[in-house]
Chains A and B, each alone.
Chain A
Amino acid sequence: MSSSRDIILERVREALAPLPKRAPLPEWDLSRARSAVAPAGADLWPAFAARLRAVNGTPVASPDELVALLGAKGWHHGYCDPALWPALKAAFPATFTVETAFDRERVDDYQFGITSAVGAIAETGTIVLNDRGTTTRLAALAPWVHVAAIRRENIVPDLASALAVLGDDPNVIWVTGPSKTADVEGILIEGVHGPGLQVALLLD
């Protein structure tokens, strides 16, 4: 008895056999995928920040600004990637409890999670995370606030450029603003399963 694999592939071959010719693969210039809002220039942070705001994301340009934002909302308990913490620690007053190990048994205890982004896309306001750069997937997803720490030089201008640098990480995720839905009567609600506030923190 043939395997399902062989049956399917045989059916595919039979279905295609009568075609007199096959449609060719068109070549196309990646610049065609660039939208009118894709920026150019050396410093892409301002353009990225503007596009991030356009998708209701929150760019912050310094650790102090981040702490002010979290403090104002009363979000004092969170997680931080241990590799990032030494650089950020000084900005956080003692009123904050920041853990550097994430406990999945207490996902709802963390009001914010700070992890590293490996890049960002200015055209779309997108943060790029991957498995090797993110200490824990859950810390970047479960807390109400996700803070992605980004280096200026890792921002790429457009989506097509970001595709070219996906690299060999088994899991790359592009995050474009807070988690959202419009399932109920088309009304936009943010923070469905993921963060309700998506922050990009510039590391300089």
Chain B
Amino acid sequence: MARQPIDQFVEGISAEKRASVYLGTKVTHEKRDKLLHDHYADPDALRRLAGEIKQHVVENLDTYLPKVEAKLQSNGVKVHWASTAEEACAAVHGIMKARGATKLVKAKTMVSEEIGLADYLEHRGIEALETDLGEFIVQIDHDHPSHIVRPIIHKSRKEIATSFEREGLGAYNDDPETITRRARAFLRKKFLQADVGLTGANFVSVESGRLVIVTNEGNSRFSLAATKCHIALVGIEKLVPRDRDLGLFLNLLARSATAQQLTVYTEFISGPKAAAQPDGPEEMHVIFVDNRRTEVLASECREILRCIRCGACLNVCPVYRQVSGHAYRSVYPGPVGAVLSPLLEGDKFADKADLPKASSLCGACNEVCPVNIPIPDLLLRLRNKGKREHAPLAEAGSPPMGAWALMASSPAAWKTALVAGKLMNVLPKTWIPIPAMKAWTDTRTLPEWRGGEFRKWLRQRPRKADGTKGSPQSHTP
């Protein structure tokens, strides 16, 4: 029987790495929980409200997108549209070419990961440098982020110190403060030399056309203080209706992502810099990226488009905690990734049809989601899609259900099986030629088979005198 890739992946993770991912996610999750409950009487009501607002946005993108486009344009922003990853990369490249720009500094944006922007630009002779500390380390290591908010949650300080030494950023030193200072000095020069600052956007207000960008390190701010051109890559689902709605989303995002009351730098950008301001972009571009989001919108999983990329579902997920991000083979790992990543594959859904299976459906993700996405329901829908489309990865390692369904809808067969199952108590378990059984008994014992005993007790127990209480009625409809 074929095995599930994610379950195989976990065998290759060192105990040290597993422990650090577990600890990092657990600590953030618990702090998040405490902060939300310390600060709000009913944080769940806020999550539900935020979910309703985002669901409204998702279901009204047809009116909101043209509206926000007009608002951005009237604010002096140039608006571009990219229906594919390739188009999005080309749009960035085109803007740079038109300016004769060759150096780009990048704040952390998941969309840029999704479209493979850095590689695209590097191949065309453009320096595209990550400036978020974690993303910078990922970039110099030619690695991939393993968490939406904490890209190097899988790396130890020793590994980082080794990379810094290799890259000529100083002799081996694994003190996190030294590592940070060295990155500060190196990246500061790069910011000041760069032509273009590229960011994502956490939210875009339709009402005002304001882009809202949050960072803790200040790297987005630095790129927008040092460069003359700002390009923002924005997924089409990032809209919020009104500025006031940000009161909800900013509070929820910071607490959910990093257990902070508010992220350190929260920028509200509605256009190029003010005339009197010497620093910052004279030119601002927003590229709205589809890259299969419209397919997700058309699917029965459109609720996933509410996601605000906080990573809380990763932090609480018992599966993510065991396997960490790379197991998901995708830009978006964890519960949100298990839904979003296969959908973003489009007609190659089957390549990632195993992701929705990598969940015990425990529902913890839904409980922490700041926009209340019913992730388990969406995982179930995608499992059904995998089954309907006969995706081999969806089937791998799963016991077939056809015979079971037949038996479970036939009372006579069921009863016979209940009694026949007693054979299991005498057969050595290792002889039972069912792979699922072996997968169970490798690490667990099976309880004694008692098929039919309860029914027998019901039938045979003495009836009580009063005739009602204590006299179960057995009937066959």
- What residues of chain A have their CB less than 8 Å away from a CB belonging to chain B? 3-5, 7-9, 11-16, 19, 22-26, 28, 30, 32-33, 35-37, 55, 102, 104, 107-108, 123-124, 126, 130-132, 134-138, 141-142, 159-160, 163-164, 166, 169-187, 189, 191-195
Are A164 and B244 closer than 8 Å at their CB atoms? Answer: yes
Question: Interface SS of chain A: helix, strand, loop or mixed?
Answer: loop
Are A183 and B151 closer than 8 Å at their CB atoms? Answer: yes
Does B438 make an interface contact (CB < 8 A)?
no
Does B403 make an interface contact (CB < 8 A)?
no
Within 8 Å by CB of A8, from B83, B160, B188, B192, lies B83
Within 8 Å by CB of B183, from A3, A187, A192, lies A192
Q: Which of B52, B132, B177, B216 has the most CB of A within 10 A?
A: B216
Within 8 Å by CB of B262, from A104, A124, A184, lies A124
Minimal beta-carbon separation of A163 from chain B (angstroms): 5
Are A26 and B216 closer than 8 Å at their CB atoms? Answer: no
Are B38 and A36 closer than 8 Å at their CB atoms? Answer: yes
Minimal beta-carbon separation of B229 from chain A (angstroms): 14
A187 to B263, CA, bound (A): 16
Within 8 Å by CB of A136, from B279, B288, B290, B302, lies B279
Q: Which residues of A contact B241 (CB under 8 A)?
A: 25
Which 4 pairs across A and B sit closest by C-beta, in order of nearness?
A194-B218, A15-B298, A131-B274, A11-B294
Q: Would A176 and B264 be within 8 Å (CB), given that A36-B38, A131-B274 are in contact?
A: yes
Q: Which residues of A contact B224 (CB under 8 A)?
A: 137, 171
Does B32 make an interface contact (CB < 8 A)?
no
Are B151 and A12 closer than 8 Å at their CB atoms? Answer: no
Are A184 and B222 closer than 8 Å at their CB atoms? Answer: no
Q: Would A189 and B176 be within 8 Å (CB), given that A35-B251, A183-B150 are in contact?
A: yes
Q: Would A166 and B268 be within 8 Å (CB), given that A171-B280, A194-B218 are in contact?
A: yes
- Nearest A-chain residue to B84, judged by Cβ: A4
For the complex with contacts A14-B294, A136-B279, A185-B176, 14 further pairs of A-B residues with Cβ separation under 8 Å are A8-B236, A8-B288, A12-B65, A33-B46, A104-B226, A131-B276, A175-B264, A176-B263, A179-B216, A184-B157, A184-B160, A192-B216, A193-B218, A194-B217
Q: Mark B154-194, 1 if CB is under 8 A from A, else 0.
A: 01110010000000000000001101110110011001100
Does B272 make an interface contact (CB < 8 A)?
yes
Within 8 Å by CB of B131, from A36, A137, A164, A193, lies A193
Among B244-280, those with CB < 8 Å from A are 244, 246-248, 250-251, 258, 260-274, 276-280
Are A134 and B298 closer than 8 Å at their CB atoms? Answer: no
Minimal beta-carbon separation of A4 from chain B (angstroms): 4
Minimal beta-carbon separation of B180 from chain A (angstroms): 4
- Nearest A-chain residue to B150, judged by Cβ: A183
Q: Would A187 and B176 be within 8 Å (CB), given that A107-B192, A131-B280, A141-B222 are in contact?
A: yes
Does B314 make an interface contact (CB < 8 A)?
no
Are A194 and B277 closer than 8 Å at their CB atoms? Answer: no
Are B221 and A194 closer than 8 Å at their CB atoms? Answer: yes
Are A166 and B210 closer than 8 Å at their CB atoms? Answer: yes
- What residues of chain B have their CB less than 8 Å away from a CB belonging to chain A? 20, 23-24, 27-28, 38-41, 45-46, 49, 52-53, 55-56, 58-62, 65-66, 69, 75-76, 80-83, 87, 131-134, 137, 150-153, 155-157, 160, 176-177, 179-181, 183-184, 187-188, 191-192, 208, 210, 216-219, 221-222, 224-226, 236, 241, 243-244, 246-248, 250-251, 258, 260-274, 276-280, 288, 290, 294-295, 297-298, 302
Q: Which of A4, A5, A169, A184 has the most CB of B within 10 A?
A: A184
Q: Would A8 and B265 be within 8 Å (CB), given that A36-B40, A192-B218 are in contact?
A: no
A108 to B181, CA, bound (A): 13
A26 to B241, CA, bound (A): 10
Q: Which residues of B contact A176 (CB under 8 A)?
A: 260-266
Are B274 and A16 closer than 8 Å at their CB atoms? Answer: no
Q: Would A194 and B265 be within 8 Å (CB), given that A11-B290, A32-B49, A186-B24 are in contact?
A: yes
A28 to B42, CA, bound (A): 14
A26 to B28, CA, bound (A): 30
Are B61 and A16 closer than 8 Å at their CB atoms? Answer: yes
Q: Which residues of A contact B276 (CB under 8 A)?
A: 131-132
Minimal beta-carbon separation of B79 from chain A (angstroms): 8
Q: Which of B82, B134, B217 has the most CB of A within 10 A?
A: B217
Are A23 and B59 closer than 8 Å at their CB atoms? Answer: yes
Q: Which of A15, A171, A179, A187 has the most CB of B within 10 A?
A: A171
Q: Which residues of A contact B191 (CB under 8 A)?
A: 193
Q: Would A16 and B176 be within 8 Å (CB), given that A174-B262, A184-B152 are in contact?
A: no
Q: Which residues of B contact A191 (CB under 8 A)?
A: 180-181, 184
A104 to B218, CA, bound (A): 17
A186 to B31, CA, bound (A): 13
Minimal beta-carbon separation of A43 from chain B (angstroms): 21
Q: Which residues of B contact A30 (CB under 8 A)?
A: 244, 247
